A and B are shown apart, each in its own frame.
Chain A
Amino acid sequence: MSDWPILSTITFLPLIGAAFILFIRGDKETVARNARHLALWTSVVTFGLSLLLIAYFDISTADFQYVESVPWLSDYNIGYHLGIDGISIFFLLLTTFLIPICILASWDAIKDRVREFMVAFLIMETLVVGVFSSLDFLMFYIFFEGLLIPMYLIIGIWGGSRRVYSALKFFLYTLVGSVLFLIAILWIYLEVGTTDIPTIMQYNFSPEVQIWLWLAMFASFAVKVPMWPFHTWLPDAHVEAPTAGSVILAGVLLKMGGYGFLRFSLPMLPEASEFFTPLIFTLSAIGIIYTSLVALMQKDMKKLIAYSSVAHMGIVTIGLFTFNQQGIEGGIFQMLSHGIVSAALFLCVGVVYDRVHTREISAYGGVVGRMPVYAVTFLVFTLASIGLPGTSGFIGEMLVFVGIFKVNTWIALLALTGIILGAAYMLWLYRRIIFGELTKENLKSMRDMNWREISIFVPLIALALLMGIYPSPFLSVLHTSVENLLIQINPDTTTEVLSSIDIHSIFNPATNIDK
């Protein structure tokens, strides 16, 4: 196992597939058909290979595994360095899992420039996998920023009517943050003398430097998450993106902000992270309530789900900054769950959009009469999004709430209002689309999902339920790495001591316990 550069293989296999697609020759139909099949098989093989990662993963260590390190610009201490730990492995798997689903979802929906679309998607897969496996800041930044290009093209070329505005908005928003992130990277390089991430994790920045670095990184990650009030690009991007674009945007790209906080802000800049925790909590709590209320009033299905994404990601950021095991594991779990559930919800929108070609909620109603299987599928993900116990959504939310309640009961209270509003907007959406009398003429000829569509949803449903009923296998992979992260944040103490500190700060013996 150890000799074979499996991470590089997984990272660059899609790129090779993309190159082959470019060489396809023939008439338009042949090219489209072959491009679809080649893209699907490439992504399936990539997913299969990435399963090997989890099969041979050692959950007892927090060290990076499958490490590949090659000197690259050795004079400048910049290297080609890949590796994954318990935190990044799931993001990588989520990516390789969702890409074949995206390709299947675009099978009939994308009719023009199929080859270019598939190439863009496979290049994007390479870049996303690269983001989650890079252990060098320069590589990370190249992947992180490179991603914008295929995504920009996917929205701008295959998108809806206002695609250019949305694509530009998406691009500019993220670019502004990224520029500041680049400055942070340069600063770190000048101070530490290397871009190697594990080395930088060991380095102690002075508090003043940390504050500036943290803010620069925050600018980038907060846009990516997105946190309120940097979220307004997301609804527009989702609305205009093709289904597969929305899926990958919600499923994976949003996770890069949270991953950035986890990988860089928390372990490298612990003091600054602690200093800015009130800011994160406040923005997240406002975001949850604000975007939930806005979601309530949306008339466009995709916009509604996009706003709900912002609310769910608010729970994630709260969890990551609780600095305790439940909160951080809950935040990560919530990201994974959201990656599956919101991706599936966008796929659900795609299914009816392909038939009726509108996202207007009021254009639907009574769909269950024609599409019972679809109604059940949509219901499962609606409930998972609401966070019903037994679905993946519940586990992440509950752990985050457990974590935040230890730290700040006010924020816990505010964040919990999201579960009421979430139920309201999702069930209302479901009712307006699925239930009621089937009166609209163009809906009367709708067909229920075909086998291709069902096969897309089956693995998603299975995962959403498995992660809700038996999440232990997932959580156990996280434990060691999260414990290690907590030690990095607070180097003098172990996690056990950490949790007792949390309790003591609340049960302060001097002031609070008067028995």
Chain B
Amino acid sequence: MALYVLPIFLPLIGSLISGVLCRKLSDRQAQVITCLLMGTSAALSIVIFHNVILDGNIQQIKLFDWISSGSFYVDWSIRIDELTAVMMFVVTSVSFLVHIYSIGYMSHDAHIPRFFSYLSLFTFFMLALVTSDNFLQLFFGWEGVGLASYLLIGFWFKKPTANAAAIKAFVVNRVGDFGFALGILAIFLTFDSVSYDIVFNAAPDISGTNFVFLGHSFDVLTVICILLFVGAMGKSAQFLLHTWLLDAMEGPTPVSALIHAATMVTAGVFMVARCSPIFEFAPIALSVVTFFGATTAIFAATVALTQNDIKRVIAYSTCSQLGYMFFACGVSAYSAGIFHLTTHAFFKALLFLGSGAVIHAMSDEQDMRKMGGIWKMIPLTYVMMWIGSLALAGVPFFSGFFSKDIILESAFAAETGLGQYAFWLGILAAALTALYSWRLIILTFHGKPRADEKVMAHVHESPKTMTIPLVLLALGAILSGYFLLPMVSEYHDFWGTSILVLPEHSALHDAHHVAFWVKALPTIAAVIGIGLAYYLYMFRPDLPPKIAKTFRPLYLFSYNKWYFDELYNYCFIKPAKYLGYGLWKQGDKALIDGIGPDGMANAAVHIAKRAIKLQSGYVYHYAFAMLVGLAAVITWFLFSRS
């Protein structure tokens, strides 16, 4: 039991020690403590991976009660099955490498213990997320990683942009969580439980049942799955809820690598795979997932083409790759999605950390227009970026090749309209991926140096604490595709019962038998993309500005990220502020107070003033009033008699 519990809580312990004692500990002590605990956690996770995958030793451990109210019962418990073991392995290993890398990258920062505390805290919440045994605990991890992300994006709290980005990330995620929470509520209403086992076992029986939601009758599983997917869209930055991811690049680069590339943003994919026993019975929801996944894949790729900030290019690339993972899930090829999640974690962390090394070398410059001509000065970083890009583009024998191909083949083999939509957009996005990846490499490393001399004189290879994690990640980026191929093999039962695929949803199975041109197309697309990048940015660098000028509206559309920020600002943020101000000044002050307390008080004063006027003190006034009264009484008396 300790083996299964320790890896989750070791990062928390590290985080608390380095966070609470952040002013007592030296920087070095904080680094050693958190890295050691994180390393132990990673090592234990490998043991768990071995136990679960090879020996099939699945565990469910109840820790203690959490909430109990009537039939609503939730406990804190740990579930370790194949899916969890894979995620634990990815999370702890990448997290450990990022911890090590941060020792070098953050060495000049004034708040090192705090940074490591946050990193470990994030890892704890991420592990809580992947090891949860019920939906509410999943939500705990889900919101917890959101908190850690908020803290880390805003780590440099003096930068106004970083603070704004942190809040934006949290609030946009909350919009997703709004859907997610509704999904959990609908699950409890339907199944009278939020425990995975009960819900997943009962799903086939509930399938086809309708329930009334917002006054209309809907298929209950479809509603649940779509609501859950809204949560996934927020966390995994899918189309419409993606806007926070780009701004999140305000955080330190190791954070971008760990949270906004390798782990947290993939939580949505993990969740959909985890909920495969429900999604399988909600075909409409699966179509929605496919649609949003494919749309995100192409949308983000078009935006990545024109960005100038090296981290933003990679951020949009992440967004696009997440789209691939989602449409894999959408065609019921969940294991292909998780396979890509794993390989992507390695090569995208590699790319981010590599770009961090570049930024480090260029004295904190992130704009690619001010780079160039440095590949001979930092050859190791250069090679690392190549490996990462080769894997990302899906060039044969690199990890991305295996995972991306199986996704595209599955989409094709699904033989549905949306499957074709996803396949063709995916192929196009693959070409664009290669194009923007080599645009990045060429702009960053080749051509004439565009930085000033002072910066150029300072360009240097990073310290060992940074390069060793890069090399290890590069190994993962090369090898993981080959070694983890059993994940999607038709001959292995890699996933046991952790992922359910109905026999009629045979896309992944059929993917192994598609025509040769389907298998070759992604590679051809990648080669075309790389070739185009070389032509445009290496050999004819005069062309891209001309193209941008000729197709200026298109260029601006892409450069401004399809104007989503402006749209949301106009549709949501401004009206909310306007409404808030209006309700305060007009609603509370003018209307409620005006009619209510202030109005009554004024009326009382007003009436009192009139009453005062009656007390004039003149006898003839009073006599007159008495006469009028007397006349009235007599009149009434006479009329009522008759």
Contact = CB atoms under 8 A, between A and B. Distances in A.
Size category, B interface: 35 or more
A499 B67 contact: no
A172 B67 contact: no
A226 to B, nearest CB: 11
Interface string B125-151: 000000000001001100110010010
Contacts of B570: none
Nearest to B188: A402
Interface in A421-474: 421, 423-424, 427-428, 431, 434-437, 469-472
Contact of A475 (B68, B147, B166, B217): B68
A420 to B, nearest CB: 5
Given A293-B579, A390-B140, A507-B211, A472 B67 contact: yes
A399 B140 contact: no
B576 A293 contact: yes
B524 interface: no
A293 B580 contact: yes
Nearest to A303: B584
Interface stretch (B152-160, B281-289, B454-462, B486-494): B152-160
Interface in B34-81: 64-72
A278 to B, nearest CB: 14
Interface in B193-240: 208-215, 217
Q: Is the interface of B mostly helix, strand, loop or mixed?
A: helix
Contacts of A515: 208-209
B153 to A, nearest CB: 12
A359 interface: no
A495 B71 CA distance: 10
A325 interface: yes
B157 A368 contact: yes
A183 interface: no
B580 A296 contact: yes
B546 interface: no
Contact of B593 (A232, A297, A506): A232
A399 B67 contact: yes
A416 interface: yes
Contacts of A368: 157
Interface stretch (B173-181, B309-317, B392-400, B402-410): B173-181
B144 A437 contact: no
Contacts of B158: 366, 435-437
A295 interface: yes
Given A389-B144, A410-B215, A412-B185, A398 B70 contact: no
Interface in B546-603: 576-577, 579-581, 583-584, 587-588, 592-593, 596-597, 600-601
A419 interface: yes
Given A326-B69, A513-B210, A401 B167 contact: no
Interface in A483-515: 495, 499, 503, 506-507, 512-515
B182 interface: yes
A182 B150 CA distance: 50
B576 A296 contact: yes
A431 B136 CA distance: 28
A409 B214 contact: yes
A395 B587 contact: no
Contacts of A388: 143-144, 147
Q: Is the interface of A mostly helix, strand, loop or mixed?
A: helix
Contacts of B588: 232, 235, 294
A297 B583 CA distance: 10
Given A296-B577, A388-B143, A471-B66, A401 B174 contact: no
B215 to A, nearest CB: 7
B247 to A, nearest CB: 14
Interface string A372-414: 1000000000010000111000010011011001100110110
A290 interface: yes
Contacts of A132: none
B213 A472 contact: no
A417 B171 CA distance: 11
Contacts of A235: 588
B169 to A, nearest CB: 10
Contact of B182 (A416, A469, A495, A503): A416
Given A413-B214, A507-B211, A398 B178 contact: no
A169 interface: yes
B167 A427 contact: yes
A294 B583 contact: yes
A326 B210 contact: no
A499 B577 CA distance: 41
B72 A470 contact: no
A427 B213 contact: no
B412 interface: no
Nearest to A399: B69
B22 to A, nearest CB: 8
B64 A470 contact: yes
B71 to A, nearest CB: 6
Contacts of B139: 389
A330 B72 CA distance: 11
A506 B188 CA distance: 13
B189 interface: yes
A507 B160 CA distance: 50
A329 B592 CA distance: 32
Give 8 nearest A-B pairs by CB, closest first.
Answer: A325-B70, A293-B580, A389-B140, A297-B580, A405-B185, A435-B157, A296-B580, A294-B584
Interface of B: 23, 64-72, 136, 139-140, 143-144, 147, 150, 154, 157-158, 160, 163, 166-167, 170-171, 174-175, 177-178, 181-182, 185-186, 188-189, 208-215, 217, 576-577, 579-581, 583-584, 587-588, 592-593, 596-597, 600-601
Given A232-B588, A436-B157, A472-B67, 6 more contacts: A293-B579, A325-B70, A389-B139, A399-B69, A475-B69, A512-B212
